[in-house]
Amino acid sequence: MAEAPGPLERLLGSESGIEHVPAEINTEKVSIARIYDYSLGGKDNFAVDRAAAAAMMEVVPEAMLLAKANRYFLRQAVRYLVGEAGIRQIVDIGSGLPTVGNVHEIAQDIAPETRVVYVDNDPIVLAHSRALLASNDRTTFLNADLREPDAIFGHPDTVRLIDQSQPFAVLLGGILMHLEDEEDPEGVAADLRDRLPSGGFLMVSNTCDNGEPRAMELSRVFAESGMGSRCFRSWDEQIRYFDGLELVEPGLVPHNQWRAGPDIPEPDSPAHSMHIGGIGRKA
């Protein structure tokens, strides 16, 4: 039996063939968003992405588990921010391709009035997110770059949806690790913290150098696959992303330990220490 088409095929039409993929989507070059989609069990990816994912799994067979755990932490964070902390405005930078349990779906399930601005610099995310969000007037998508925060926070859609004088949350799920040291991830995090009003939150999740040699090996395979950087920074380096914020319990920890919920994939795998996440609150 033929498999059901994924959102990309539905968007492009299953008969359309590769030549009808929008010009800005390069099917020959790997994409972080599409590899992540593949790792989560999605269908919006091409052979080049699947080959790169296979290369990563040769080094770390639990690579797909790590992606699922990253997504789990994102869900946990949104449940906490909207369900417990009362946040009703979210800017999700490096949002990735829509998948099951998107930020706006979790948030608006808990509090329908929650507004969400999604941001990603991959054109494939733009194509999908526009289709998904066409009928949701509390949610929008910007094709923009984390390294240009003024373009994000000054964008008319952000200004329309997010009252930046009131508490809002910035989500940086699996994105700072894609910035090189020269791109100053600490400075980028500091800029975002400065934009938060009192009562605002910063969520960060990233790969972590847990001392295992295969962490460095995975970083190398990632770069050699043409995906750019996936830096494994230490806990000590990453805690600085939260400078001046109050860390929400239990702090900056492996994803399976952040208020472990029922939907954590394979909760006991030792590989979880290769990914950490935390949430900080501005006093």
Ligand X SMILES: C[S@@+](CC[C@H](N)C(=O)[O-])C[C@H]1O[C@@H](n2cnc3c(N)ncnc32)[C@H](O)[C@@H]1O
Q: What is the DSSP letter of 255?
A: G
Query: Minimum distance between the CB of residue 33 and ligand X, rounded to whole angstroms?
Result: 3
Where does this chain touch ligand X (CB under 6 A) — which range of 105-113, 170-178, 208-216, 249-257?
Answer: 170-178
251: left (phi over 0), alpha (psi -120 to 50) or beta: left
How many whole angstroms separate alpha carbon 142 and alpha carbon 136? 14
Inter-residue contact 7 to 98 (CB < 8 Å): yes
Query: Minimum distance between the CB of residue 171 and ligand X, rounded to whole angstroms?
Result: 7
Where does this chain touch ligand X (CB under 6 A) — which range of 155-163, 169-177, 194-202, 217-225?
Answer: 169-177
Which residue lies nearer to ligand X by CB, 107 or 125? 125
What is the contact mask toward ligand X in residues 128 to 167, using x (rule: CB under 6 A)? -----------------xxx--------------------
3-state secondary structure at position 135: coil
Measuring CA to CA, how many Å separate 123 from each of 33, 148, 179, 230?
A: 10, 16, 18, 20
Contacts (CB under 6 A) with ligand X, residues 30-59 = 32-33, 36
Tokens found for residue 100: 């099951």
Contacts (CB under 6 A) with ligand X, residues 93-132 = 94-96, 120-122, 125
Which residue lies nearer to ligand X by CB, 66 or 196? 66
Neighbours of 148 (CB within 10 A): 11
Inter-residue contact 230 to 178 (CB < 8 Å): yes
Which residue lies nearer to ligand X by CB, 36 or 38? 36
Among 60, 63, 71, 192, binds ligand X (CB under 6 A): 71
Inter-residue contact 36 to 97 (CB < 8 Å): yes
What is the contact mask toward ligand X in residues 258 to 277, using x (rule: CB under 6 A)? --------------------
Query: Minimum distance between the CB of residue 188 and ligand X, rounded to whole angstroms?
Result: 9
Instruction: Tell me, by CB under 6 A, how many residues bind ligand X.
Output: 20
Inter-residue contact 126 to 143 (CB < 8 Å): yes
* Cα angle, residue 237 at apex, residues 236 and 241 outer, rounded to 5°: 110
62 binds ligand X (CB under 6 A): no
Rule CB under 6 A: which residues touch ligand X? 32-33, 36, 70-71, 74, 94-96, 120-122, 125, 145-147, 173-175, 178
